[in-house]
Homo-oligomer: A and B are copies of this chain.
Amino acid sequence: MGTITKALELLDFFSKSRAEIGLGDFVKLTGRDKATVHRHLVELMQNGWLEQDPTTRAYRLGPAILRLSAVREATYPTRALIRPVVHRLSEDVGELVHASLLQGDQLSPIYFADPRRHGVQVHFNLSELLPLHATSSGLAVLAFSSDDLRTRILNGAMTAYTDQTVTDPDTLRALIDETRRTGLASSANAFDPEVASQGTAIFGSGDRPVGALSVSVPSVRATPDHLATIRGPLIQAARDITRSLGGTYPPEHPLSRP
């Protein structure tokens, strides 16, 4: 692992529930040496990616991020394009919808919409990275990702988030093959307990998925009928996003022959 990756990984520890992180915390989180972590932190700080609270000496995300995200959205407004589609789908199916983009070996959620129509709701945290192996979005991506990414995930360590998380490579491979046939991934209670979700990949201008769109349903409402009614709108919404990104489905994808 290169130095750059080590430094960037430090940033991934920040989330809504973890807005400030001290040197000692980073050392525990990473298992790396204090001096190493400190050097990385200082260098990130010098470039504006972190700033340090002058009294607590804890680190938080810096202003550099704000500028770059403005540049990205101004020039390549994925978030703005995806937003209305996610909203509409969420109203349509009356359930939590979220879109995420592939970021290395994880998914980075970029937008979600929750119609709050029912008593029971699926909770969703926009600022935590999602694993590929334990989410329907992840399976949808893996089904059409490069062999390289797929084998890296399947051969790597896979966290069991619940007692129903599939961590057996062969079982996962079967699920992924199924997803490749249908274009739609399903998972139940694999990441959050009591939540069933269905996901499908979205594509950019290449043959590889850039992310996924998924609908999550509380288990109490996850009847086969209800899940079936979701599929059509979900697939249509993903198609809309793919089109507005200027993307095309790869030949092996079932939706490439509509």
A interface residue numbers (CB < 8 A to B): 2-5, 7-9, 11-12, 14-16, 19, 39-40, 43-44, 46-49, 51, 53-55, 60-76, 78-79, 101-104, 106, 108-110, 126-127, 129, 204-208, 210-211
**Residues from chain B with Cβ under 8 Å of A12 in the complex:** 64
A44 to B68, CA, bound (A): 14
CA A74 to CA B14, docked complex, whole Å: 11
Residue of B2, B55, B79 touching A66 (CB-CB under 8 A): B79
Contact indicator A103/B39 (Cβ below 8 Å): no
Bound Cα distance from A216 to B15, whole angstroms: 36
Contacting pair A75 B16 (CB below 8 A): yes
Minimal Cβ-Cβ distance residue in B for A9: B47
**What residues on B are CB-neighbors of A61 within 8 Å?**
68, 71-72, 75-76
In the complex, the answer to whether B74 meets A60 with C-beta atoms within 8 Å is no
The one of B14, B40, B70, B104 that contacts A71, using a Cβ cutoff of 8 Å: B14
- In the bound complex, residues from chain B placing their C-beta under 8 Å from that of A39 are 2
Complex Cα distance, B14 from A70, in Å, reads 11
- CB-defined contacts of A103 to chain B, threshold 8 Å: 47-48, 62-64, 67
Interface centre among A14, A63, A129 (most CB of B within 10 A): A63
In the complex, the answer to whether A64 meets B9 with C-beta atoms within 8 Å is: no
**Residue in B7, B54, B106, B109 whose beta carbon sits within 8 Å of that of A208 in the complex:** B54
A45 nearest in chain B by CB position: B104
Q: Give complex CA distance A204, B43 in Å.
A: 21
Of B51, B71, B129, which one neighbours A127 at CB under 8 angstroms? Answer: B71
Contacts of A210 in B (CB 8 A): 51
In the complex, A66 Cα to B76 Cα: how many Å?
Answer: 12
- Are A204 and B54 interface neighbours, CB within 8 A? yes
A78 to chain B, nearest CB (A): 7
Q: Measured between alpha carbons, how far is A129 from B71 in the docked complex, in Å?
A: 12
A61: min CB distance to chain B, Å: 4
Closest chain B CB from A22 CB (angstroms): 15
Q: Tell me the bound Cα distance from A46 to B104 in angstroms.
A: 5
